[in-house]
Structure 1
Amino acid sequence: MSGLEELSREELIALTRALMAENAALKAEVAQLRERVAKLERLVSRNSGNSGMPPSADDLPGRKKPKDRTAGSTGRRRPGKQPGAEGKALAWSDDIADGAIINHYPQGPCGCGADLALAADLGVTAAHQQIEIPLVVARRVQHNLHTLACRCGAVHTAPRPAGVNAAPVSLGVNLQAWCVYLLVVHAIPVHRCAELVASLTGATPSPGFVHGLIGRAAAAVAAANARIRMLLTLAYVVSCDETPVRVGPKKTGKYLLVACTELLTWYMLGGRDLATFKRFVLAEVTGVVVHDRYQNYDAADLGTRDHQLCVAHLIRDLEDCAETYPEARWPRQLQMALRGLIHAANLAREQGGDAIAAGTLAMFTKMFRGGVAVGLSEVKRVPGPAKTVTQPVGRVLLEVLRDRADDVLRFAHDLRIPPTNNQAERDLRPAKTQQKISGRLRSERHARHRYAIRGYLSTAMKHGLDVMTVLRDALLGRLWMPPGPATA
């Protein structure tokens, strides 16, 4: 800097102090920028393999995709049919309806000039069965209600058949059931549903009529949903999860919560706050709750019960630790222990056993506890208040694995408990599909109606029932009710 030799000692000291202060400010700014870049890099690195993000988010711009893993190694199963899974194929059947056997004969002239219609039949040399449906065409049915006069003078009028509306002209219950099925099960938007029904059948329901069917169907299945909720409170194991849904005005949103078993499904629309969880079925559940470690599932206001933390979520969180600490062995060791216990539990169930082999259980449990101890020794806790101090990646997870080991490994000691809340995630997947297809639902009331119907139909399908039959019967007032705990 020119002219420094002309400055006095006091001026040089003042200039030096100013430069030192500026340098300290720049260092602080650089530190903040580095921390911000690290947070952004970590945010971009989140995917379905190392966090709870759905696989559909892996294709977002700038998103780091999960590592490609081969089947049988440390990670993902390959798509499609899994090894050992039961295959399905179209089977030959001798049960053919009358008139459904069509004989085909060669036609035209032979090379010699003779007509093949006069040739000798040598029998069937090849047969092909094809499963087909008839063309669906709506037909108009007129119901004439006659009135009779008895000899005594009394007059009797025939009642309207079940499902026949009081209006002079209406759509039949079969068409109503199809509309509700397309709206709720396949998330077809209202206008497209009306167009689809018109294209397939020739009937032309109005969008308003189609939309109104959701409320009517929800009222028809209300009693069954109340019973499903009651049965969940008595279940030995209940899986729970929640997902955001777009409902109502654009600036508002809700959460869809699900409580379910292998045979029951119940939805509730609300928030992700403690007040919603108090209204949720959890406050009355007496069995084990399988969940993803969201804090409200452990709230003291909901009472005391046993928990099973979703092991799939833990394995993904450990994948994040493995990527953050590539030289560390404890993340892979913990993943190996948890996967080993899941495999052992599945194998024991398949073989009809009631417990994992004692040696296998002891081996993987020791591997699990050892991995936790090593991880805690390598990832040190940063002292200070939790609200102001950010802990290193994996520290909080390791403390959960240490302090809640019983809730992590409960499935390994009781084969009736699933290791993951995959059942709840499967039951929430239709809501995520609906968001992609139809977008925002217009009102909370219709959203509640939609998922009341969905919960009823999901429960019926889990019991092996035909969804169209139970839906049609519900609209006719013949509501199917799920069986009690003795048979469920």
Structure 2
Amino acid sequence: MKETVTDISAMLKSLTSQVQSMQETIDAQHTEIASLNRNINRLTNENRILRKRLSKYESPDKNSNNSSTPPSKESMKDEVVRRTKSLRTPSGLKPGGQPEHEARGKEMVEHPDAIEERMSEYCRNCGRDLSCVEGELDYVSQVVDLPAVAPITTEYRHYKKTCTCGCCNKGYAPRRRGSQITFGRNIKAIVTYLNVVQCVPFERLASLMDEVFSVHMSQGTIANFVQETLRKSRPAIQLLENLLKQSPVVGFDESGCYNNKRLDWAWIAQTAYITLCFRATGRSSKVLEERFGDALQRMVAVTDRHSAYFVLDFLNHQVCLAHLLRELEYLTELDESQRWSKDVTNLLRAAIHQRNVQPEETVEKESWTDRLDELLKANLLHLNDKFERLRKGLVKCRDYIFNFLENPMIPPDNNASERGTRKLKIKQKISGTFRADKGADAFFAIHSIADTAWKNKQSQLQAISTILSL
């Protein structure tokens, strides 16, 4: 039997009340869901931040073996590992001189400066006098030593002659203002050499000159010697710059330089026979553009992956493989279960070995680039973000990785440039910073000349002395 509705208004009122109650329930649930979503987003962000902080302790530490971190910033533990671990693979040979290795030792001079005869004047058994017995030569030895060092003072007496015409003639330079006692070229060269090449600070250098050479001088005098060498070295520095502009392959690098309470940048441009270091206030591409100009278009640059080098119009480019191998070493330590970083490492090492086996031959790079492309197609999204970041970086510079195979003049790494700036790091580790621009500029100029002399197997001290004689 059907139910009959007798009061429609009461029924509608009841339904309206139920709808309102359901709407309130929905609104309350919506508010609660929104609050839960906000909490989820907040917890997700906190989780990401905490994971990032935790990864610092879970990931392997970056040191000079697996990154570009300088040894001076390594921890004590990393330094111990670095000194006992090498990126080189074991050769299987015993340490020391190898078979057919040509031994080199000190040779006796044919004409010694002094000869001293040593013989016994009495018998050590019975005590009999042997002074009248003629001795028989047993063997000859030589001792190399230094003579007692003492400064040599030369007095110059200047005369003037008056002609019958009344003209006064002087055959020497005008009288110096101030002290009439000066230091000679050898002392200036030794002081400059010890300060720049051996990185001896002014105070210790003044003490050394006093103790060893009996030459008394102030720190201000040492600074004047270095500045004098800087002034006289400018033509040589200009010559080095001109030679670099004509060089087909040039290595570049830059490093931080603390100077006069600010951070400057030390730049180096070098070849196998030339080194040029200079200071700049930044590390952008404009530094090289202003210094070398159109000559960059004729150079093959060997650099790291710093972005400033890739906006310059070089003839060609070679990326330093040593930097890449260190980054790959870090990825291998980060996740030893994967094979990608190991395969790329083996490929780069094989290419370097190919160049070492054929040092003067041209090797086609297409097959090597194809092998690299196959590795760069790998999907690394399931690994740490650092893997994908390096893969993308290799994709950008793939055309500049194996250029050293096609041109034997191009080295596979930029280690020579890093060795050229190592002297700066030693200097700053000892002295901390440069106090003035002129001191920093003098160091870079004199270091350029000394390092160029060393590359050409010449005496660095003699090179500085030659500069001072100009």
Relative to 1, partners in 2 of residues 1:185 and 1:156: Cα closer, same or farther, differing over 3 Å?
same
Instruction: Choose from 120, 125, 131 the match for 1:111.
Output: 125
Q: d(CA) in 2 for partners of 1:23 and 1:366?
A: 46
Paired AA for residue 269 in structure 1: R
Cross-structure match for 1:239: 251
Instruction: Give unmatched runs, 5+ long, in structure 2.
Output: 1-23
Give the drift of 1:183.
0.9
1:327 to 330, 333, 337: 337
Q: Distance in 1 between matches of 2:424 and 2:97?
A: 26
The aligned counterpart of 2:196 is: 184
In the TM superposition, 1:322-361 aligns within 5 A as 322-349=332-359, 353-356=360-363
Residues of 1 paired with 2:177 and 2:104: CA distance?
Answer: 42
Count residues in correspondence.
442
Report the Cα distance in structure 1 between the residues aligned to 2:161 and 2:353, rounded to whole angstroms. Answer: 72
CA distance in 1 between partners of 2:417 and 2:109 (Å): 41
Q: How far, CA to CA, are the matches of 1:472 and 1:141 in structure 2?
A: 19
The residue type equivalent to 1:36 in the other structure is R
1:442 has 2:435 as partner: yes
Partner residue of 1:370? 374
Distance 2:41 2:396 in 1: 42
Residue identity in the other structure for 1:34: R
User: One-letter code of the match for 1:284?
Assistant: A
Post-superposition CA distance 1:29-65 (Å, at most 9, x none): 23322123325655x6211122111234333578995
1:290 aligns with 302
CA 1:277–1:219: 2 relative to 1, 3 Å = same
Find 2:75's aligned residue among 44, 59, 66. 59
Equivalent-residue separation in structure 1 for 2:439 and 2:196 (angstroms): 11
Distance 1:458 1:347 in 2: 29
Q: How does 1:33-182 map to 2 (within 5 A)?
A: 33-39=50-56, 41-42=58-59, 45-60=61-76, 65=81, 69=85, 73=89, 89-97=104-112, 99-108=113-122, 110-123=124-137, 125-148=138-161, 155-159=168-172, 167-182=179-194
Q: Deviations 1:343-366 (Å, cap 9, x if unpaired)? A: 2212222xxx4234x7xx677555
Deviation of 1:174 after TM superposition, in Å, equals 0.9
Q: Could you say if the C-alpha distance between residues 307 and 71 of structure 1 is closer, same or farther in structure 2, counting changes exceeding 3 Å?
A: closer
Identity %: 23
What's the C-alpha RMSD, in Å, of the aligned pairs?
3.5
Distance of 1:197 and 1:127 partners within structure 2: 36
TM-score (normalizing by structure 2): 0.83
Q: Is 1:467 matched with 2:460?
A: yes
Q: Distance in 2 between matches of 1:282 and 1:463?
A: 27
Does the C-alpha gap of structure 1 residues 333 and 27 become closer, same or farther in structure 2, counting only changes over 3 Å?
Answer: closer
Query: 2:449 touches 2:463 (CA, 8 Å); kept in 1?
Result: no
Determine the C-alpha separation between the residues in 2 that align with 1:133 and 1:85. 35
- Of 210, 213, 234 in structure 2, the residue corresponding to residue 222 of structure 1 is 234
Is the Cα contact below 8 Å between 2:380 and 2:387 reproduced in 1? no
Alpha-carbon distance between aligned partners in 1 of 2:57 and 2:428, rounded to the nearest angstrom: 27
Unaligned runs of 5+ in 1: 1-7, 382-390, 478-488
Match of 1:385 in 2: none
Q: Deviations over 1:233-280 (max 9, x none)?
A: 11010001111111102xx11110000001111112112134434334
Aligned match of 1:194:
206
TM-score, structure 1 normalization: 0.80
Deviates more, 1:130-139 or 1:416-425: 130-139
Letter in 1 for 2:398: A
Counterpart amino acid of 1:315? L
SS of 1:36's equivalent? helix
- Residue of 255, 260, 264 corresponding to 1:254: 264
Cα-to-partner distance string for 1:285-310 (whole Å, 9 max, x where unaligned): 221000001000011xx324211000
Check the 8 A contact 2:270/2:276 in 1, yes or no. yes
- Between structure 1 and structure 2, the one with the greater Rg is 2
